[in-house]
Structure 1
Amino acid sequence: MKAISLVSAQKLSLVSLDEFKTLPADGVEIEIVLSGICGTDLAVLSGREEGQVGIVRGHEAVGVVVNVGTDVTRTRKGMRVVVDPNEYCGNCAYCNSAKTHLCSGGSNAGLNIAGVNKHGTFAERFITHERFVHGIPDDMSWETAVLIEPVACILNNIEQASIKAGDRVLLLGSGPMSLVAQILLRGMGVHTRATDLNTFRIEFGHSLGLDIVHPRDLECLGPNQEKFDVVIDTVGNQLETAASRVSRGGRIVLFGFNGDYKYSLPAKHFLVNAISIIAAGEYNQHFPLALRIAHRLPELGKLVTHLYPLEAYSAVFDSLLNDPCAPTIKSVFTPNPKHLSR
């Protein structure tokens, strides 16, 4: 089986996995059709985040079920499914308190996450437990379905930040996750504005009816538009800008990953102005809702702009890492393209 593995710090390779783990009684074996490249993958390869060497990367995936265990009851061969990569144990104190996103019972004393600390979905096949597999509606495209995991992440942050219709939200950065968030928030009746340095992303967002500007254009906002109820840092190093743009009583949401970034908190400013910082962590049982919402937002599939075979991994990651102006939004691998015609 072909797969893309992290073979050393900041280095990927296409490998052949000769040993495929045994299917457990509640197991589901899936031929992966699409597996999305996430910002966390890029953070690992750029050195901004650590990655576990020897692990097959990839955690945003959809595919077709090809085998099921003896105890599987609701999943059948041939089903189109989306994978929830966050494999909580279901038995630890956090799981028993309905906080599965904080699970401490995994093999590494924490949440088992496909593509992070266990083999993931940049591979031809993937095995997981039935409770982490969800059927895809017949009328949902593969491209929309592969964004369900990002939708779950964003829903968690929306919930934790108590964002509601009528709020004004500024999103710093307009990468794939931010664009998904903007589409979701618009559907909720939230007023969004976003920034990005990449002119292609700005124009792409405009084609979807989204309000995206270059960061310098924030300085041109009128006196009634200077502050926002919520500011979301999707880049991971924008807290200074977020603090200058959030309104009194507002919320700043930490969303982007950058392990090297440090921020000196102006504690009095935050206290006097009643500004909250929200760190939502992993999503918590948001997959069913994410699936239903994605079903109502088929335009999400337009964000998938590039499909690649596993063999193209080197050129793909080289472009994503080294060309910040590349005309791309969401890039995904196609380990089993034979299913794409469905």
Structure 2
Amino acid sequence: MNAISLIDKQRLDLIDHHYLEVFPDDGVEIDIVLSGICGTDLAVLAGREEGQTDVIRGHEAVGMIVKVGKDVTHLRTGMRVVVDPNEYCGSCEPCRSAKTHLCNGGSNSGLDIAGINKHGAFAERFITRERFVHCLPDDMSWETGVLIEPVACILNNIDQASIQAGERVLLLGSGPMSLVAQLLLRAMGVTTLATDLNPYRIKFGRSLGLDVMHADELELRMQDQSKADAVIDTVGNQIDTAIQFVRRGGRILLFGFNGDYHYQLPVKYFLVNAISIIAAGEYNQHFPRALRMAGMLPELGKLVTQYYPLEAYPAAFDSLLNDPSAPTIKSVFMPNPKYL
């Protein structure tokens, strides 16, 4: 089958891959319908993050079940499903303590994540185990389904930061994850304000009824408002800006990926102003809730704006990496377009 693999540092290629492992008794084989390109994939190709070579990328995926193992009880062929890529072992101490996001019993001595440190879903087919597969509701589109994993990520951050209805949240950056967060927070009764540099993203966010502005306008806008209860840095290098606009006793959430970014922490300022820095890590059993919440967000599927066959991966990544003003929100691969 065709698949997109990281064959060298910052280099992808389309390969012919065949699963050689014995199909597990609780295994589920899935024809991938959509697989989302994530900011993590872009960070690896841009050199801001390390990536494991010889691994098929892709960790946001929906598809159709084509085969199940003899011990599978709740799934069957022909079901539309979404994949949870965080494959915890279930037996290490963190897993037994209901902290599966901190799993240290995987094959990589930590949490096994499809598309990150084991084969993922930029492929025509994907094999996983039953507990990492969730059914899509009949009335949920493929486009909404492929954003369930991002919704789970956002929910984890909301939980860790204890963001509540009635609070005000500033989001720095309005890429796909930020827009998912804005829609989710709005549905929860949270007031959001967001920034971006890309005119298309600003216009797109506003078309959804969201309050999005150019980053250069933020200081003037905030002069007439109280500071935010929480600031989410979705870019990965915006702590300086976050400090300016978070209230005393507020929270700064680290969300974007940039391994090259370092920040010298003014400890006294954070202590005196009781500002918390929150790094939520991986989500922990958030998929069932993410599916319920996504069903309440009719605009969610609109975030998918670009579709590519696997063979067109150079064009897909070239646009996302090299054109900061590209009219793009969420780009996805469609390995099996027959299902669309």
Shared topology, TM-score over 0.5? yes
CA distance in 2, matches of 1:284, 1:150: 13
Instruction: Measure, in 1, the Cα distance between the counterparts of 2:269 and 2:61.
Output: 42
1:222 is displaced (CA, Å) by 5.0
Equivalent position SS for 2:240 = helix
Going from structure 1 to structure 2, the CA distance change for 1:324 and 1:222 (only over 3 Å counts) comes to closer
After TM superposition, the structure 1 stretch with the greater mean CA deviation from structure 2, 222-231 or 203-212, is 222-231
Bigger shift: residues 210-219 or 110-119: 210-219
Q: Report the secondary structure of 1:43's partner residue.
A: helix
The number of aligned residues is 340
**Alignment match, 1:9:** 9
- Give the match for residue 88 of structure 2: 88
Aligned to 2:41: 41
Counterpart Cα distance in 2 of 1:297 and 1:11: 36
In structure 1, the residue matched to 2:218 is 218
Matched, 1:196 2:190: no
CA distance in 2, matches of 1:33, 1:161: 34
CA shift, 1:18, in A, is: 3.2
Correspondence for 2:205: 205
Whether the 8 Å contact between 1:178 and 1:234 is mirrored in structure 2 is yes
| Structure 2 CA distance for partners of 1:66 and 1:249, relative to 1, 3 Å | same
What amino acid maps onto 2:197 in structure 1?
L
| Distance in 2, Cα, partners of 1:219 & 1:289 | 36
The answer to whether the 8 Å contact 1:140/1:298 transfers is: no
Query: C-alpha offsets along residues 298-336 of structure 1, whole Å, 9 cap, x if unaligned?
Result: 210000001110000011101100000000000000000
1: distance between equivalents of 2:226 and 2:216? Answer: 13
Give the Cα separation in 1 of the matches to 2:162 and 2:211.
22
Aligned twin of 1:79: 79
Kindly indicate whether residue 106 of structure 2 is the aligned counterpart of residue 70 of structure 1. no
**2:295 partner SS:** helix
Task: Map Cα deviations across residues 234-266 of structure 1 (whole Å, 9 max, x no partner).
Answer: 000000000111000000000000001000101
- Aligned pairs for 1:68-217 within 5 A: 68-217=68-217
3-state SS of 2:29 partner = strand
2: CA distance, partners of 1:255 / 1:144 = 21
Q: What SS does the corresponding residue of 1:237 show, helix, strand or coil?
A: coil
Q: Which moved more, 1:222-231 or 1:250-259?
A: 222-231
Match of 1:23 in 2: 23
Q: How far apart, CA to CA, are the structure 2 residues paired with 1:167 and 1:112?
A: 35
Query: Displacement of 1:226 after TM fit?
Result: 4.7
Specify every segment of 5 or more residues in structure 2 that has no aligned partner in the other structure, as ranges: none
Q: Distance in 1 between matches of 2:121 and 2:323?
A: 25
1:228 pairs with 2:228: yes
Deviation at 1:21, TM superposition (A): 3.1
Q: CA–CA distance in 2 between the matches of 1:149 and 1:318? A: 24
Could you tell me which residue of structure 2 aligns to residue 54 of structure 1? 54
Query: Could you tell me how far 1:216 is from its partner in structure 2?
Result: 1.1
The residue type equivalent to 1:310 in the other structure is: L
Q: Do structure 1's residue 272 and structure 2's residue 262 form an aligned pair?
A: no
Residue of structure 2 equivalent to 1:248: 248
SS class of match (2:55)? coil
In structure 1, distance between residues paired with 2:13 and 2:62: 22
Distance 1:222 1:54 in 2: 47
- Superposition deviation, residue 224 in structure 1: 4.2
1:316 and 2:316 matched: yes
Residues 318 and 222 of structure 1, relative CA distance in 2, 3 Å threshold: closer
Task: Provide the rounded CA distance (Å) in 2 between the counterparts of 1:132 and 1:12.
Answer: 26
Shift of residue 297, structure 1, vs aligned partner: 1.0
Matched residues in 2 for 1:146 and 1:257: separation? 20
Using the TM superposition, name which of 17-26 and 295-304 deviates more: 17-26
Q: Which amino acid aligns with 1:265?
A: L
Contact 1:25 1:72 (C-alpha < 8 Å) held by counterparts: yes
Q: Distance in 2 between matches of 1:289 and 1:251?
A: 24
- Write the letter of the residue equivalent to 2:199: T
Task: Could you tell me which runs of 5 or more consecutive residues in structure 1 were left unpaired when the two chains were aligned.
Answer: none
Identity of paired residues, percent? 74
Tell me the distance in 2 between the aligned counterparts of 1:157 and 1:270. 20
Question: Which whole-Å CA distance do the structure 1 matches of 2:115 and 2:316 have between them?
Answer: 18
TM-score for both structures, normalised by structure 1:
0.98
Alpha-carbon distance between aligned partners in 1 of 2:160 and 2:45, rounded to the nearest angstrom: 29
Amino acid aligned to 2:87: E
